[in-house]
């Protein structure tokens, strides 16, 4: 290492160390971690991730569930789409036409089936964001997901967690 250090300037050494660190971080993306699914890109929730820790919005503290197993709830859904390009709680860019959703307490990411109780149409989405923070709302769907189930404005829906093993089939 000493001979390499002598032949490289301080700036070049810094670039080399930075590249080494970046490459070692990328290696974990391709490991067979139990939290990743190679089939769909969906991964199971990581309880230690910052987006799965308690958080406060407008003076209200929300505590994400440790697991979504058995989760089933009926409530009001809305859709959002004007945030195009913004980052989700998980750090991904929000894509209005994607099949994603926001929920206050489901662990991120969670795969759920949302059924429009007005017409019976259902869509499977990945919950990758937090919200909605409007009183009385259960879930916010991306515009693409809302369109699939015929949701215009707000509507009554059933939200059911899809076991990650089942959703990978």
- Indicate whether 116 pLDDT > 90: yes
On average, the pLDDT of the chain sits at: 79
Residues 62 and 26 in one domain: no
Contact by Cβ (8 Å): 6, 72 = no
pLDDT score of 84: 64
| Secondary structure (3-state) at 161 | strand
- Tell me if 44 is assigned to some domain: no
Residues 132 and 56 in one domain: yes
pLDDT tier for residue 65 given thresholds of 50, 70 and 90 = very high
pLDDT score of 31: 31
Q: Residue 38 half-sphere exposure, CB side, CA atoms within 13 Å?
A: 5
**57-61, 93-97, 145-149: segment of lowest average pLDDT:** 93-97
Residues 159 and 102 in one domain: yes
- Tell me if 39 is assigned to some domain: no
Residues 27 and 110 in one domain: no
State the total domains in the chain: 2
- Indicate whether 8 pLDDT > 90: no
Radius of gyration for the alpha carbons in the chain, expressed in angstroms and rounded = 20
CATH of the domain at 71: 2.40.40.10
pLDDT score of 29: 30
Residues 108 and 148 in one domain: yes
pLDDT tier for residue 103 given thresholds of 50, 70 and 90 = very high
Instruction: Return the percentage of the chain with pLDDT > 90, whole number.
Output: 63
pLDDT tier for residue 164 given thresholds of 50, 70 and 90 = low
Distance CA 90, CA 87 (A): 8
Secondary structure letter of residue 109 according to DSSP? S
Q: Compute the average pLDDT of residues 54-69.
A: 96
- Indicate whether 68 pLDDT > 60: yes
Q: How far is CA 119 from CA 108, 124, 152, 158, in A?
A: 28, 16, 12, 12
Distance CA 168, CA 54 (A): 28
Query: According to DSSP H, which parts of 40-156 are helical?
Result: 143-148
pLDDT digits (tens, 9 = 90+) for 23-51: 333 333 323 333 333 334 456 788 889 99
Q: Containing domain of residue 20, as a range?
A: 1-31
- Tell me if 37 is assigned to some domain: no
Burial class, 153, CB count within 10 angstroms (exposed 0-12 / middle 13-18 / buried 19+): exposed
Residues 7 and 66 in one domain: no
Contact by Cβ (8 Å): 55, 61 = yes
- Tell me if 45 is assigned to some domain: no
Cis preceding-peptide flag for 157 (omega within 30 of 0): no
């Amino acid at each position: 290492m000493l001979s390499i250090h002598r032949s490289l300037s301080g700036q070049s050494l810094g670039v080399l160390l930075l590249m080494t660190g970046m490459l070692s971080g990328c290696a974990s993306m391709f490991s067979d971690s139990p939290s990743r699914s190679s089939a769909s890109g969906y991964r199971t929730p990581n309880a230690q991730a910052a987006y799965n820790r308690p958080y406060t919005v407008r003076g209200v503290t929300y505590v994400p569930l440790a697991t979504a197993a058995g989760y089933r709830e009926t409530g009001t859904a809305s859709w959002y789409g004007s945030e195009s390009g913004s980052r989700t709680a998980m750090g991904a860019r929000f894509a209005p036409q994607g099949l994603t959703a926001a929920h206050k307490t489901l662990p991120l990411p969670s795969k759920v089936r949302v059924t429009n109780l007005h017409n019976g149409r259902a869509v499977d989405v990945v919950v990758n964001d937090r919200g909605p923070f409007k009183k009385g709302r259960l879930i916010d769907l991306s515009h693409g997901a809302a369109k699939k189930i015929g949701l215009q404005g707000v509507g009554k829906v059933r939200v059911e967690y899809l076991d990650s093993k089942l959703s990978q089939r």
